[in-house]
A = this chain, B = another copy of it.
Amino acid sequence: MQTHAKKLLVVITEAALEKLLVRDLRRLGAHGYTVCDVRGGGERGERAADWEADRSIRVEVVGDEAVVAALVEHILATYCANYAVSMYVTDCGVMRPHKF
């Protein structure tokens, strides 16, 4: 199995940001993204998803290190001050490098 090294960025944040994040990541060069509805808790308390304002999403982006770095930078600067945001990055390998 021959794979090509990419980065996987996972962002867990408020559902209200979904539209904004998708627009941003497209603009910053990501080729795609995947969103999933989640609930959870962190610094900013429990987000039990039992009310519209309490819903959270988990956004996953596979991309080149540069794209992921730009995205991370942008999210830190734009959203982290005022929104519940968690982010982490892992290494990953893909089969068709042009896709990501």
Number of chain A residues whose Cβ lies closer than 8 Å to a Cβ of chain B: 43
Are B99 and A93 closer than 8 Å at their CB atoms? no
Binding site for B on A (CB under 8 A): 1, 3, 6, 8, 12, 22, 26, 31-43, 56, 58, 62, 65, 68-69, 72-73, 76, 80, 86-96, 99-100
User: If A1-B73, A12-B34, A65-B1 touch, does A42 touch B99 (CB 8 Å cutoff)?
Assistant: yes
Are B36 and A41 closer than 8 Å at their CB atoms? no
Are A40 and B31 closer than 8 Å at their CB atoms? no
Q: Which residues of B contact A22 (CB under 8 A)?
A: 41
| Chain B residue at smallest Cβ distance from A98 | B43
**7 examples of A-B residue contacts, CB within 8 angstroms:** A34-B39, A34-B56, A34-B86, A62-B88, A87-B94, A90-B91, A91-B91
